[in-house]
Structure formats: C-alpha cells, structure tokens
Amino acid sequence: MIKRTLFFAKKFSLTTKNNQLVISNNEVPDKTIPIEDIGYIVIENQQTYISIPALNKLNENNVAVIFCNEKHLPQSMLLTLDNHHIQHELFKHQVNASEPLKKQLWQQVVQHKIHNQAALLHKIGKNKNPLAYHESKVLSGDTTNREAVAAAFYWKNIFDFNFKRERTGIYPNLFLNYGYIILRAAVARALSGSGLLNTLGIHHSNKYNAFCLADDIMEPYRPLIDAKVIEIMQKYDEQDLITPIKIELLSVLTQTVYFEDKKSPLMVALSNTTSSLQNCFLGKSRKINYPKLWI
C-alpha cells in the first residue's frame, strides 16, 4: 500500500480521534485522514500545533514526522525505536555484525550506487562514461575508494554547466540537499520498521550522527533525487526552494522503481531493501536487495 505524504506549509492544528489524524485551522473545515494511511508528515510552519496523543499514534504506526527549522529546511524527525517483535534480537545481531560482513555489504552499496549513477547519465543522453568500469572494480569495503572516483566524474558531467557539489552552496545544491534530507528520513523510517538501529552504520561512523545506517543504505537511491532535480530545473525558471519545488521533491517517495519480479513505489521498495539488510544481519542472506531505478 502506498502511504500518503502530508506537507504543512501553513499553520494547522493536528490532533487525533478514533485513529484518525484531525487537521484543522480557521480557514477550512476539519479534515480527517486514517493514520494507518500516512507514511510521512513534513511540518514546515513554525506555528503548527501537534498534540502528544497525535504524535504517539503516528509513532505507533511508524510515521516519519519531519520538523523544519525557521529557514523551512528539514532539521529533525520523530521515529519509533520499538516497532518490531524481535527488536532486541535484531539489535544484538546488528551490533555483533562482523567486519567482513559489513565490508561486503558496503561493497554492494557502492556498486549499486555507481550503477544507478551510470543509469542516470545514460538516461539524460551522456552514454560515454567510465562508471561501469568503476562499478566492476569495487572491492570489499571499497578500499580503493571507487565511490569517490565515480562521484567526481558523475558530478562533473550531470549538469550542462560548471557545478560543484556541496552540502551548502548555490543552486541547485539547495534542491539536492532538500531532496536528500527527505530521502534520508524515508530510509530511516524503513530501517526502523525493519527493527534496525539507525545509529549503527556499516560504513558511516560519526559520534555526532544518529543516522549512520540510513546514510549508508540511501546511497544507491540518491540518483532518484538527482533525476528529479534535473526535471525541476527544466520545468521551473526558479533558483529558490519554493513550496511547489518542495512538493515535487516529496513526490519522489511515490515514484515507481523495479525489482526483478515486480514494480514498486519507492517507499515500499525501501522496506524491501531494509528487510533484506535485516536478513543479512540475521545470517539468512548476504545480499542487500536494491531495485533498478529505471528500465
């Protein structure tokens, strides 16, 4: 089932009644939405009110609630830490995962990321690129850092103008960064739903980062955001992160991706990926299941 994404740019009051999210303000009649139908909520307006019972109900249903700062950029999110019937066992296996396993998993992540970067370059007509070669040379743990080598070529060629990829910086970095934050929240939600601890990564490790595992697992999905930003740049003559562009970036969460035997909306595919990672930690598999982003 495709979960809904709700975006609140105006002042609203969010409460709950009979397992429904009740949305109200002084301008329009109250609206109710079944909480079980919601996947993500983005609260941008600083005057929005949300009740504790509503937060608890959203948390029980593994809804990722994303809070924005005064600059209207996502800053924090609410996630459940008790969403799986064998939570303790999963945490134990994740904590005790061997270094060889984590290196093999990171190798797969990097290979899929480079593959998807190459697919996007092909999609936009830039077929002559060395990324397939770099993908084939990724070693366990990516000890030769093929990820960085591939990224240098990718960012140099993805746009038809001189561009430097930065966490801050001018257009279109702001679009990319916003999209990545939303993607990160979606991956964190899926990991939490699979009973995994977001803090403990397989490659990323930073004592100040509570979402190291989300940062690891999201890497192959990043080109979806890049492709959406290219689409936005062709559609809008706008370099500021206006509300319609934010909504366009949020729409990536419902984009269709492709597994071998079926197609799937992204938010469902993320759960498929994190469930396969769970099986890797439990010793049932050694493969992370990532979809093709385009066919």
Q: What is the pLDDT of residues 96-117, one digit of tens each?
A: 999 999 999 999 999 999 999 9
CB 21 within 8 A of CB 32: yes
Query: What is the band of 1 on the pLDDT scale with cuts at 50, 70, 90?
Result: low
**Strand, coil or helix: 4:** strand
The mean per-residue pLDDT over the stretch 234-263 comes to: 93
**Cα end-to-end distance, the chain, whole Å:** 22
Q: What is the CATH T-level fold of the domain 4-78, as seen in this structure? A: Ribosomal Protein L15; Chain: K; domain 2 (3.100.10)
Q: Where in the chain is the domain with CATH 1.20.120.920?
A: 87-281
pLDDT in tens, 137-167: 999 999 999 999 999 999 999 998 999 999 8
Top pLDDT among 87 and 5 is at: 5
CATH 3.100.10.20 residue ranges for the chain: 4-78
Helix H or strand E segment including 129: none
CATH 3.90.1170.50 for the 87-281 domain, yes or no: no
Range picked from 21-30, 83-92, 258-267, 272-281 for highest mean pLDDT: 272-281
* Statement: residue 200 has pLDDT above 70: yes
d(CA 29, CA 93): 49
209: confidence class by pLDDT, cuts 50, 70, 90? confident
Q: Report d(CA 196, CA 256) in Å as an integer.
A: 25
Averaged over 185-213, what is the pLDDT? 89
Residue of 195, 157, 189 lying closest to 266 (CA atoms): 189
Distances (CA, A) of 165 to 77, 115, 121, 264: 25, 19, 16, 30
pLDDT score at 187: 95
Lowest mean pLDDT among 46-50, 96-100, 168-172: 168-172
Confidence tier at 207 by pLDDT (50, 70, 90): confident
Distance CA 238, CA 22 (A): 34
Q: What is the mean pLDDT of the chain?
A: 92
User: Above 60 in pLDDT, residue 84?
Assistant: no
| 118 has a pLDDT exceeding 90 | yes
Q: Over pLDDT 70: what percentage of the chain?
A: 98
Q: State residue 104's pLDDT score.
A: 98
Count the residues in the chain.
295
Question: Per-residue pLDDT for 86 more than 80?
Answer: no
* pLDDT over 90 (residue 74): no
